Structure 1
Amino acid sequence: MKPLLLSRYTATSCIGTGLAATRAALAQGRSGLHPCDFETVDLDTWIGRVNGLEQAPLAPALADYDCRNNRLAMLGLQQDGFLEAARHAVARHGARRVAVLLGTSTSGILETELAYRQRDPLSGALPPDFHYRGSHNIFSVAEFVRHAVGAAGPAWVISTACSSSAKVFASAARLLASGLIDAAIVGGVDSLCLTTLYGFNSLELVAPEPCRPYDPARSGISIGEAAAFVLLERAPDTPGPADIVLSGYGESSDAHHMSAPHPQGLGARMAMEQALACAGLRPTDIDYINLHGTGTPSNDAAEGLAVGTLFGNRTAASSTKGATGHTLGAAGGLEAVFCAIALAEGMMPGSPGTRELDPGIDIAYRLQPESAPLRHVLSNSLGFGGTNCSLVFSRPAGDAR
């Protein structure tokens, strides 16, 4: 594929609001997880919460979109000059030439959960101020972002669980290659809600401590929330020394099981192989892998096997979910930004929460952040139902950092 320039990017999660705070947390190997204190949830688990969203309602003109998910989206858009850059892209290319493609898993479902507490006791009707379209509706976040930036091009939301906001990069690449658009706002937003916390608990997948990806004592995930956005445009013929590009993507659907990964990591390996082929790279060209690394026994074993089979134990890898928790539909976008930071800074993130590598997984796992020259990095996002996506990001010009 022709590389696509990451013209602007930003991330907001429990480790920081915006790039400076996020970069510092990754460099320090710091986690933002803390014991669950969300809403009425009574579970022995840890979460990655973005503080202050309850006190950050949207402007009155956007009241129909007001929900935790869209408040988080707005907070994310306002960081690092992203909102201004997106609006400038709309002005430069034309509103119909800018797409908005986002990922989420539960959108604004929290508003529905809260509305059900206020149902009419006789009719069961939901309260009149509940707006499904602007909150729970899965398209809500794309419609909201589209309105915020003034875009009028193609817009959709992908909801394939944990691969959602990685797959939007592939969608944008195809739209740009077809000539239908000139820029795309991609990424993901997912926020804490009761359904997610109690749902994963019912699957016995939440850990009673901060998650420990790839650790022999790992026992499940810590759920987080995040907003991450990237402005994708065609890369110049002669990239600048600081430019970072999307150079490849791969998608697979192994459909092995509703919630368990293929035990041999078949889907993960297929996605990684396709991403490498798309980028015109070999496994030995990859300097660092941001693993999906959720902290569940089956996910880490399957992904570790796939990575070990394809890359051996030579390519450095880590999971950042011990820092942010698993942000579900936002994870792919969030970790894409982490990869961009890694390339820009010449720094491989560590694995907060992990104390040692599972001896049954033979990969070059890194516990602590490390400085290293990086030219190409790969990020994995592996979703429920076997919907997988791998992305390759690169520094095409200048010295690797």
Structure 2
Amino acid sequence: MKPLVLTHFTATSCIGRGLDATLEALRAQRSGLAPCGFERATLDTWIGEVDGVDAEPVRADLHDFDCRNNRLAQLGLAQDGFAEAVAAAARRHGAQRVGVFIGTSTAGILETENAYRRRDPQSGALPAGFHYAGTHNPYSSAAFVRAFFGLQGPAFVISSACSSGAKVFASARRMLAAGLIDAAVVGGVDSLCLTTLYGFNSLELLSPAPCKPFDTHRSGISIGEAAAFALLERAPEANEAPSPDGAILLVGIGESSDAYHMSSPHPEGLGARLAMEQALASSGIGADGIDYINLHGTATPSNDAAESCAVQALFDATPCSSTKGATGHTLGAAGALEAVIAALSLREQWLPAGINTTEADPALGLNYQLTGGPARLRTVLSNSFGFGGTNCSLLFARADRALHGGASL
């Protein structure tokens, strides 16, 4: 595939607002997880809650979109000069030539939970001020971002469980390759809600302690929330000025659907392996050319074991870790958040540790990083796998590696 440039990116999660705070937490190996104190959730678990999400409503002209999920999106869009970068892209290409592709799992379902608690006791009618289309409807996430920037290009949401925020990169790439757009705002946003917390609790997947991906004593997930975004544009052609050497490129994408089970992965990681193989093949980079893998790494026994099988089938001692010990599992936003972490790692030449993990499970056979540090990173693979066997792997590279490193892109 022809590479795409991440001309701008940003992330907001429980470890901080924006790239500087995110990088600082990763370098300090500091987790943002805390005992669950989410309103009405009486659960013995830890969560990754973003401070101050409800402190500011969405912009006044977007009132019908007001909900926790879109407030979190707005908070994320305000970081790192991202809004200004999108505005500049709209001026360069025209508002109708910038697409919006957002991943989410539950969108603003919390707004519906609250609305049902305020139903009319006689008629059962929902409150008059409840706007399903702008809040709970999954498309509301993309509609909000599109309206926030005044964009007029194609927009849609992917809701494929925990691969949602990664698969938007693939959708945007297809639109760019088809010539339908010239730039794309891609990302993921998912916020805490009772449906998610109690749903995963009913599946007995919540850990009573901060999650420990790939640890011998891992016991389940810690749910988090996040908003992460990137601006994608085409890489320069050979006869144009090249991207700066430090620029981050999306050079490979792999998608698969093994449909093994509604909530359990294929035990040998079949779909995960297929997604990683496709990402490698589409980039022209061999498995031995990958410097770091950001694992999906949910910290459940079966998910980590299956992903380990897939990684071992393709790679030989490639350094890897899961950053969910820092951020929690941000569900529909996880793919976008971890894509941004991958890009940040490449930009800063920093290999993230698997925070909270203290005893990497030797049975999994991975070169799992318990300590982070400076590293020569030219390429990073980021994995995102969701319920139902929907899988996506994204391969990022520094421009100097991608354009001069011998890969056939």
User: 1:28, 1:59 → 2: CA distance?
Assistant: 34
User: 1:4, 1:242 → 2: CA distance?
Assistant: 14
What's 1:330 paired with? 333
The one-letter amino acid of 2:295's match is L
Q: Secondary structure at the match of 2:399?
A: coil
User: 1:87, 1:54 → 2: CA distance?
Assistant: 25
The one-letter amino acid of 1:160's match is S
User: 1:350, 1:194 → 2: CA distance?
Assistant: 30
What's 2:55 paired with? 55
Between 1:316-325 and 1:88-97, the stretch displaced more is 88-97
Query: What stretches of structure 1 of length at least 5 have no aligned partner?
Result: none
Alignment of 1:349 with 2:352, yes or no, is: yes
Alignment of 1:235 with 2:235, yes or no, is: yes
Percent same amino acid at aligned positions?
A: 66
Q: Secondary structure at the match of 1:272?
A: helix
User: 1:296, 1:143 → 2: CA distance?
Assistant: 34
What's 1:104 paired with? 104
Query: Paired residue for 2:374, among 368, 371, 384?
Result: 371
User: 2:183, 2:145 → 1: CA distance?
Assistant: 14
Q: CA deviation at 1:55?
A: 1.5
Q: Secondary structure at the match of 2:364?
A: coil
What's 1:166 paired with? 166
User: 2:371, 2:140 → 1: CA distance?
Assistant: 38
What's 1:202 paired with? 202
What do residues 143-190 of structure 1 show as CA deviations (whole Å, max 9, x unaligned)?
A: 010011121111000000000010000111111111111000001000
User: 1:191, 1:259 → 2: CA distance?
Assistant: 21
- Say if 1:14 and 1:324, in contact at 8 Å, map to a contact too: yes
What's 2:306 paired with? 302
Q: CA deviation at 1:59?
A: 2.7
Q: Secondary structure at the match of 2:356?
A: coil
Q: Secondary structure at the match of 1:360?
A: helix
Between 1:233-242 and 1:298-307, the stretch displaced more is 233-242
Alignment of 1:151 with 2:154, yes or no, is: no
User: 2:130, 2:202 → 1: CA distance?
Assistant: 28
What's 1:176 paired with? 176
The one-letter amino acid of 1:374's match is L
Q: CA deviation at 1:62?
A: 1.4
What do residues 90-142 of structure 1 show as CA deviations (whole Å, max 9, x unaligned)?
A: 11101111100000000000000011100111111101011001100000010
User: 1:77, 1:116 → 2: CA distance?
Assistant: 30
- Say if 1:90 and 1:150, in contact at 8 Å, map to a contact too: no
- Say if 1:45 and 1:208, in contact at 8 Å, map to a contact too: yes
User: 2:11, 2:20 → 1: CA distance?
Assistant: 10
What's 1:289 paired with? 293
Between 1:21-30 and 1:267-276, the stretch displaced more is 21-30
The one-letter amino acid of 2:64's match is D
What do residues 259-295 of structure 1 show as CA deviations (whole Å, max 9, x unaligned)?
A: 0000000000000000000000110000000000000
User: 1:130, 1:188 → 2: CA distance?
Assistant: 24
- Say if 2:62 and 2:148, in contact at 8 Å, map to a contact too: no
What's 1:249 paired with? 253
- Say if 2:11 and 2:340, in contact at 8 Å, map to a contact too: yes
Q: Secondary structure at the match of 2:312?
A: helix
- Say if 1:6 and 1:244, in contact at 8 Å, map to a contact too: yes
User: 1:307, 1:269 → 2: CA distance?
Assistant: 7
Alignment of 1:17 with 2:21, yes or no, is: no
The aligned runs of 1:118-137 (5 Å cut-off) are 118-137=118-137
The one-letter amino acid of 2:282's match is C
The one-letter amino acid of 1:333's match is A
What's 1:317 paired with? 320
Query: What stretches of structure 2 of length at least 5 have no aligned partner?
Result: none
Q: Secondary structure at the match of 1:397?
A: helix
- Say if 1:284 and 1:311, in contact at 8 Å, map to a contact too: yes
Q: Secondary structure at the match of 1:388?
A: strand
Q: CA deviation at 1:396?
A: 2.4
Alignment of 1:389 with 2:381, yes or no, is: no
What's 2:95 paired with? 95
Runs of 4+ in 1 over 6 A off after TM superposition: none
User: 1:128, 1:368 → 2: CA distance?
Assistant: 52
What do residues 278-336 of structure 1 show as CA deviations (whole Å, max 9, x unaligned)?
A: 00011000000000000000000000111011103x20000000000000000000000
What's 2:142 paired with? 142
What do residues 211-241 of structure 1 show as CA deviations (whole Å, max 9, x unaligned)?
A: 0000111110000000000000011232211
User: 1:177, 1:60 → 2: CA distance?
Assistant: 36
What's 2:76 paired with? 76
Between 1:106-115 and 1:90-99, the stretch displaced more is 90-99
The one-letter amino acid of 2:325's match is G
Q: So what's the TM-score if we normalise by structure 2?
A: 0.96
The one-letter amino acid of 2:33's match is L
Q: Secondary structure at the match of 2:92?
A: helix
Q: CA deviation at 1:353?
A: 1.1
Q: Secondary structure at the match of 1:123?
A: coil
Q: CA deviation at 1:256?
A: 0.3
User: 1:194, 1:9 → 2: CA distance?
Assistant: 29
Q: Secondary structure at the match of 1:102?
A: strand
The one-letter amino acid of 1:15's match is I
The one-letter amino acid of 1:169's match is F
Q: CA deviation at 1:397?
A: 1.2
* Number of aligned residue pairs: 399
Between 1:105-114 and 1:144-153, the stretch displaced more is 144-153
Q: CA deviation at 1:87?
A: 1.2
User: 1:379, 1:194 → 2: CA distance?
Assistant: 28
